[in-house]
Amino acid sequence: MLRYTFQRIVLALAIVFFAISALYTVMITLPGDPTTVLLGPRATAEIRADFRERMGLDNPIHVQIAHFWGRILSGDMGTDFNRNRPVADSVFSALPHTVALVFGAIFWSASLGILLGAFSADNRGSWLDRISGVLSVAFIAAPSFVVALYSLLVFSVWLRWFPTIGAGEPGDIMSRLYHLALPSFAIGLAWVGYVARIVRASMLEALGENYIRTARAFGLPRRTVIYNYALRVAILPAVQVLGVGIGGMLSSAVFAEIVFSRPGLGSLIYDSVSGRNYPVVMGAMLVAIGFFVTCALIADLINAALDPRHRSQR
């Protein structure tokens, strides 16, 4: 297990390194002069030249990438072009909002998806199962930004149950959760469908296993057999899917953060890409990719710990 863990960590670091270096190259080669976009029309040629020099934009791409990694290894993410402050300030003030959003989405998708999947398996072949199937596919197909906009209309404008914007008052946990509910629901809804389908399939498989047949033969109540024995095994694939799905949720977070006007890595990256604010884009991407790779790594390690076949397959 130790060797396997070491291999996965090395692989994770390599993924982060290559992903960020590739992104840096793509970002720099994108058409769009940051001095034009960032400084605005009234900046003189001298100001732009000075800005370009200060930010090292005159250097060749490989030198810029080397400088970037050099700074990262010394704990410096660079300076935010726009706000004249360390990139780390911008990124790490946004990160907790995105992490909360993603874990909120996991909460919604796991709780609703598992319930729906278990219910479907329990009522296999019935019209309720079919409705659940249609609902699951509909959830998967619905784009997050559409769900976000309709959630706003229904729950905020018509019913007035939830606020439309913001992340809540700092230091007030209830206010934070209150503001988190709707955006995390908008992201999590698509994953409700995935989780429900996976749980249903693996539960049907589990229900055919010998130990379930034995439990039934012993006369255990049907509900206990399904929800205490079969479901416990059936949710394992869903954990794996949600672990990998964090990448997708991070992408959806961009829309949710814009629609709900929440601070976060998604909206920070969106604004920074539009403004060609390279240091912030790269700093935020580094943290987002690091977060995603860490979650995937943890999911791998949990699976390997639970099922030794995972270790031997690799």
Partner 1 sequence: MTNDISKRLFPTTTRRQLLAGAAALGTASLFPVVAWADGGRLNVRAYLEPDDYDPLDASGFLEELLYGCIYRKLIQYVPGDQWDWQLDLAESIEQSSPTTIAFTLKPGQMWSDGFGEITAEDVKFSLERHMVDENNSRIRPDLGTFTHVEVTGTHSGIIHMERPFAPIWTIALPYLAGTIICKEAVEAAGGKITTAIPPAVCGPYRVVEHRLGERWVLERNPDFSGEPADFERVDLVVIVDESAAEIAKEAGDVDFTSIGPASVARLGDNPPDGSRLQVHPALFYHWVGLNVQNPKFADERVRMAIMHAIDVPSIVQAAFFDVAEPATGIIAPGLIGHRPETIIPPQADFARARALLDEAGIDRLEINIDVLNTVIHTTAAQVMQATMAQAGIDLSISVHESGSFWSLGVAADGERWQDLELTIKRFSMTPDPYYATAWFVTEQIGDWNWEQFSNEEFDRLHDEALSETDPAQRDEMYRRMQDLMEESGGYRFITHGVTANLFADSIVPATRPDGLPLVQFFRRA
Site for partner 1 in 137-166 (CB under 8 A): 149, 152-153, 156-157, 159-166
Is residue 56 involved in binding partner 1 (CB under 8 A)? no
Rg (CA), the chain: 24
Report yes or no: 239 and 202 within 8 Å, Cβ to Cβ.
no
* Nearer of residues 153 and 305 to partner 1, judged by Cβ: 153
- What mask, x for binding partner 1 by CB under 8 A, covers residues 26 to 45? ----xxxx-xxx-xxxxxx-
Applying CB under 8 A, among 100, 105, 268, 282 the residue interacting with partner 1 is: 268
Residue (101 or 192) nearer to partner 1, CB: 101
Of 245 and 264, CB closest to partner 1 = 264
Q: Is residue 236 involved in binding partner 1 (CB under 8 A)? A: no
Fill in the per-residue mask, 187 to 226: x = in contact with partner 1 (CB under 8 A), - = not in contact: ----------------------------------------
- Residue 262 within binding range of partner 1, rule CB under 8 A: yes
Binding residues (CB under 8 A) for partner 1: these are 30-33, 35-37, 39-44, 46-48, 50-51, 82-85, 89-90, 93-94, 97, 149, 152-153, 156-157, 159-167, 170, 258-264, 267-268, 270-271, 273-276
